[in-house]
């Protein structure tokens, strides 16, 4: 350890002006000020009383003891922490509780290390703060601090007893969590450990007791962890076996709340769901003002931390949707209790939340207030109010997706990039301009348009997808991937030929058939059509055959019969007797409209799979076909009904007309279909990841597919509920 001798004396450190200054920084209650001043002037540095403590639950079901120090103790420990922290020379591998270090920098260091060494060993010290040995820690402090009186004071804080159920409890090991000095002492305790590993050529990153060890091979990473474990044993510490494992960059791992997988960083969806539920629960009993303050703290911290790493903003969008739901409910409650009387009051209270609005959402707060007032106006009956608010939210999300996607259908159109904008020209005239930082997707709906290489370069750099569709056939796309993992591809290929692969196939058929049945049931709620009821009953009966199917051939038989009944019911809803679903070279407007919708959906599924690094040519259910991305065929199945089929039905039931020109859908009809599919994709739907727009759910579902393969867990498809 590179010791830094602290040569100041006790009296030099604890001067009265310094102590009084630190007292002012704590902003104590007036009664505490007089007590502390008297103690300082009298030289009373010891509490002469047991320490107050309380217990908080840990994730494993046990409890953590937390110290509740007196104001005087906080001041003294703060001075010690600042003075010792200033002279200590800690290892560069230590990132917790240090000025200039942070979880963000630890994550950046991990990301950098993975470029050179792809194998890791993850480890966590078991009950770290509670098992630090006092003798060893005091021995280290004696080599750092010259004045023994200071060491004696620290020893007192280490040994200070506490009360539990009115019984005195001695403190013979460990340091109190909650004490101002404890973080510094924990780093001092492990500083020799960090320097030792460096001297042995081990690359590691440590954030308090949470650490990673890197190696060129699994054996090398394991050896580094073993070396660390042996050293820790000598100072009375041990790794927690339940939180220790080996992994590889392709398989992925989690560190400091961030999931690493290849070059991609994300938040685990289960973890995100728990955070959202906790956010909702914590806001339940708070007023509007308190909720805004709480949300400001929580989400600012969340976005400032995770937003620096997460490549896809769909998870952060889910947080914003939750924020909006909480705030709308709080505005309603405040209005109904008459604690707020005007919209201006609400705007002033919501002002701190403006930072969450996207650049193009200029009237975000106004939108929240409008949703709340609509909910109040229609609060009787409540169901009507909730429907109105849901409709407004849906309209808001739909306008978002339309403003972030450029759709080009004009023959001969040219797309270019200049001055930070994407520009569309038709016959030399600019017909559309959009700032590039607002665009997320471009759809080219014919093969007679052209675009500049500079635009392609900017789109690839900014991760903007470009879809190419001609006559309802997606023939090309420009997209990106976070990371391509050979290990993932090997698992995909292995699954295709294994019993587990058949379970994936079963799940594909299950979700498709379930969504077909659910859509027809939804459409027949009000119709009460006996023919539809008969079709539903038959489909439900056939559906049971999915569970008992023994092979893919049996699955295909069941799927085919259910689909026949589904399309017959689909035609019945529209009053088309004997409707036949056709795929290629369709002649009628309805089939052409469905094919166009599927083409739009197809490219979104394909880009989501590519983003996750999945091999498009290793299917789950469909047969492998040369040069055919059959995995896309599999994954599109669950989304056909809730996205395309439902929207085309809704479009026609609203009386909108699909027309043709020269045997093809007219330009107006194509525009209508694209707009309606965009709106459907932006519609929030319930899912295992929480309620979120369908375009987010597509991304979450593809990530879930990848994780199920890498972690060897059960895959669950998306079933839409109405």
- DSSP state string for 97-117: S-TT--HHHHHHHHHHHHTT-
CB atoms within 10 A of CB 298: 17
Specify if 720 maps to a domain: no
Long-range contacts of 348-354 (CB under 8 A, 24+ apart): 349/288, 349/289, 349/292, 350/292, 352/292, 352/293, 352/296, 353/292, 353/295, 353/296, 353/323, 353/327
Question: What average pLDDT is seen over the chain?
Answer: 85
Least confident of 163-177, 350-364, 697-711: 350-364
491 and 428 within one domain? no
Instruction: Identify the pLDDT of residue 333.
Output: 87
Specify if 459 maps to a domain: yes
- Distance, CA of 553 to CA of 221 (rounded, Å): 45
Q: Which residue has the higher pLDDT, 257 or 667?
A: 667
Q: Which residues pair with 163 in a beta bridge?
A: 168
Please list, in sequence order, all residues whose beta carbon lies within 8 angstroms of the beta carbon of residue 262, skipping any fewer than 6 positions away: 249, 250, 252, 482, 483, 484, 485, 613
Tokens representing 175 are 């340091």
- Distance, CA of 168 to CA of 50 (rounded, Å): 7
Give the pLDDT band (50/70/90) at residue 359.
very low
Please list, in sequence order, all residues whose beta carbon lies within 8 angstroms of the beta carbon of residue 619, skipping any fewer than 6 positions away: 496, 630, 631, 633, 634
Q: Which residue has the higher pLDDT, 704 or 381?
A: 704
Structural domain boundaries, residue 432: 401-478
365 and 224 within one domain? no
Average pLDDT for 104-121: 92
Q: Residue 508 belongs to a domain with what CATH number?
A: 1.20.120.920
CB atoms within 10 A of CB 69: 21
Tokens representing 231 are 């050293």
Domain count, the chain: 4
Assign 3-class secondary structure to 451-471: ECHHHHHHHHHHCCEEEEEEC
Phi and psi torsions of 64, nearest 5° = -110, 130
Q: Which position has the token pair 């078991």?
A: 126
356 and 208 within one domain? no
Average pLDDT for 618-624: 93
Q: Residue 125 belongs to a domain with what CATH number?
A: 3.90.1850.10
313 and 247 within one domain? no
- Convert the pLDDT of each residue in 490-529 to its tens digit: 999 999 889 999 999 999 999 999 999 999 999 998 888 9
Specify if 187 maps to a domain: yes
Asked if pLDDT for residue 454 goes beyond 90, the answer is yes
- Distance, CA of 7 to CA of 16 (rounded, Å): 19
Average pLDDT for 461-482: 85
Give the pLDDT band (50/70/90) at residue 50.
low
Specify if 395 maps to a domain: no
Instruction: Identify the pLDDT of residue 360.
Output: 36
Tokens representing 69 are 């120090």
Of the residues 345, 379, 413, the one at which a domain ends:
379
Specify if 387 maps to a domain: no
CA neighbor of 420 nearest in space, from 404, 432, 396, 436: 436
- Convert the pLDDT of each residue in 114-165 to its tens digit: 999 999 999 999 999 999 999 999 999 999 999 989 999 899 888 887 766 6
In terms of average pLDDT, the best of 116-130, 247-261, 310-324, 392-406 is 116-130
- Distance, CA of 399 to CA of 319 (rounded, Å): 19
Q: Which position has the token pair 């709080």?
A: 330
Asked if pLDDT for residue 391 goes beyond 70, the answer is no
In terms of average pLDDT, the best of 52-66, 225-239, 584-598 is 225-239
508 and 626 within one domain? yes
471 and 520 within one domain? no
Average pLDDT for 172-199: 92
Q: Which residue has the higher pLDDT, 34 or 107?
A: 107
**Percent of the chain having pLDDT more than 70?**
85
Instruction: Identify the pLDDT of residue 177.
Output: 85
The H or E element containing residue 434 is strand 429-435
Give the pLDDT band (50/70/90) at residue 355.
low
Please provide the DSSP assignment of 38-75 as one string. HHHHTT-----SPBEEEEEE-TTS-EEEEEE--HHHHH
Cis previous bond, 440, omega within 30: no
Specify if 384 maps to a domain: no
Instruction: Identify the pLDDT of residue 166.
Output: 65
Q: Which residues pair with 177 in a beta bridge?
A: 66
Instruction: Identify the pLDDT of residue 62.
Output: 66
- Convert the pLDDT of each residue in 520-555 to its tens digit: 999 998 888 999 999 999 999 999 999 999 999 999
238 and 206 within one domain? yes
- Convert the pLDDT of each residue in 330-348 to its tens digit: 888 888 888 887 788 888 8
Q: Which residue has the higher pLDDT, 595 or 334?
A: 595
Instruction: Identify the pLDDT of residue 311.
Output: 59
Give the Å distances, CA to CA, from 539 to 509, 532, 563, 568. Answer: 13, 10, 9, 11
Specify if 386 maps to a domain: no
Give the pLDDT band (50/70/90) at residue 374.
confident
Specify if 1 maps to a domain: no
Of the residues 237, 262, 287, the one at which a domain ends:
262
Asked if pLDDT for residue 213 goes beyond 80, the answer is yes
Instruction: Identify the pLDDT of residue 358.
Output: 46
């Amino acid at each position: 350890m590179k010791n830094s001798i602290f040569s100041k004396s006790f009296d030099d450190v604890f001067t009265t002006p310094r102590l009084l200054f630190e007292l002012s920084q704590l902003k104590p209650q007036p009664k505490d000020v007089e007590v502390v001043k008297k103690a300082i002037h009298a030289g009373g540095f010891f509490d002469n009383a047991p320490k107050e403590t309380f217990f908080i639950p840990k994730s494993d079901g046990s409890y953590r003891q937390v110290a509740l120090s007196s104001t005087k103790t906080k001041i003294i420990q703060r001075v010690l922490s600042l003075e010792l922290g200033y002279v200590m020379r800690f290892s560069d591998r230590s990132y917790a509780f240090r000025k200039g270090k942070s979880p963000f920098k630890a994550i950046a260091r991990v990301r950098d290390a993975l470029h050179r060494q792809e194998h890791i060993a993850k480890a966590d010290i078991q009950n770290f703060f509670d098992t630090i040995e006092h003798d060893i820690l005091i021995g280290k402090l004696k080599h750092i601090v010259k004045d023994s009186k200071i060491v004696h004071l620290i020893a007192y804080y280490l040994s200070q007893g506490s009360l539990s159920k009115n019984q005195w409890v001695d403190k013979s090991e460990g340091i109190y969590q909650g004490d101002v000095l404890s973080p510094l002492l924990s780093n001092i305790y492990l500083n020799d450990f960090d320097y030792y590993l460096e001297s042995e050529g081990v690359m590691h990153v440590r954030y308090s007791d949470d650490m990673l060890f890197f190696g060129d091979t699994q054996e090398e990473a394991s050896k580094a962890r073993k070396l660390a474990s042996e050293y820790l044993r000598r100072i009375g510490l041990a790794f927690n076996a339940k939180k220790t494992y080996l992994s590889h960059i392709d398989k992925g791992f989690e560190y400091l709340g961030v999931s690493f997988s290849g070059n991609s960083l994300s938040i685990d969806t289960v973890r995100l769901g728990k955070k959202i539920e906790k956010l909702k629960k914590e806001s339940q009993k708070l007023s509007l003002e308190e909720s805004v303050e709480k949300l400001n703290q929580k989400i600012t911290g969340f976005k400032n931390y995770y937003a620096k790493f997460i490549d896809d903003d769909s998870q952060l969008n889910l947080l914003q949707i939750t924020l909006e739901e909480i705030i709308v409910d709080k505005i309603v409650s405040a209005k109904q209790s008459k604690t707020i009387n005007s919209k201006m009051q609400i705007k002033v209270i919501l002002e701190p939340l403006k930072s969450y609005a996207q650049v193009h959402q200029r009237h975000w707060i106004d939108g929240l207030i409008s949703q709340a007032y609509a909910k109040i106006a229609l609060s009787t009956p409540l169901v009507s109010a909730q429907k109105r608010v849901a409709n407004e939210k849906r309209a808001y999300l739909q306008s978002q997706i339309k403003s972030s996607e450029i759709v080009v259908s004009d023959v001969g159109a040219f797309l270019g990039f200049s001055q930070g904008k994407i520009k569309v020209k038709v016959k030399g005239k600019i017909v559309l301009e959009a700032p590039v930082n607002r665009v997320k997707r471009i759809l080219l709906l014919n093969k007679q348009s052209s675009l500049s290489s500079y635009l392609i370069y900017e789109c690839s750099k900014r991760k903007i997808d470009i879809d190419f569709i001609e006559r309802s056939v997606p023939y090309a796309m420009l997209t990106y991937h976070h990371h391509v993992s050979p290990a993932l591809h090997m698992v995909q290929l292995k699954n295709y030929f294994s019993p587990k692969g058949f379970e994936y196939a079963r799940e594909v058929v299950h979700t498709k058939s379930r969504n077909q049945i659910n859509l027809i049931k939804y459409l027949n709620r009000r119709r009460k059509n006996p023919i539809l009821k008969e079709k539903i009953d038959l489909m439900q009966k056939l559906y049971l055959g999915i569970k008992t199917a023994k092979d893919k051939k049996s699955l295909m038989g069941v799927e085919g019969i259910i689909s026949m009944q589904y399309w017959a019911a689909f035609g019945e809803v529209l009053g088309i007797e004997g409707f036949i679903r056709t795929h290629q070279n369709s002649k009628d407007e309805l089939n052409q409209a469905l094919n166009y919708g599927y083409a739009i959906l197809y490219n979104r599924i394909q880009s989501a799979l590519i983003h996750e690094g999945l091999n498009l040519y290793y299917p789950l259910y469909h047969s492998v076909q040369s040069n055919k991305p059959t995995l896309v065929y599999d994954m599109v199945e669950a989304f056909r009904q809730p996205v395309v089929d439902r929207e085309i039905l809704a479009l026609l039931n609203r009386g909108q007309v699909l027309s043709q020109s020269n045997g093809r859908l007219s330009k107006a009809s194509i525009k209508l279909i694209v707009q309606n599919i965009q709106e459907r994709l932006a519609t929030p739907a319930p899912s295992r990841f929480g309620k979120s727009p369908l375009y987010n759910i597509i991304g979450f579902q593809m990530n879930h597919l990848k994780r199920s393969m890498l972690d060897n867990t059960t895959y669950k498809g998306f079933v839409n509920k109405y």
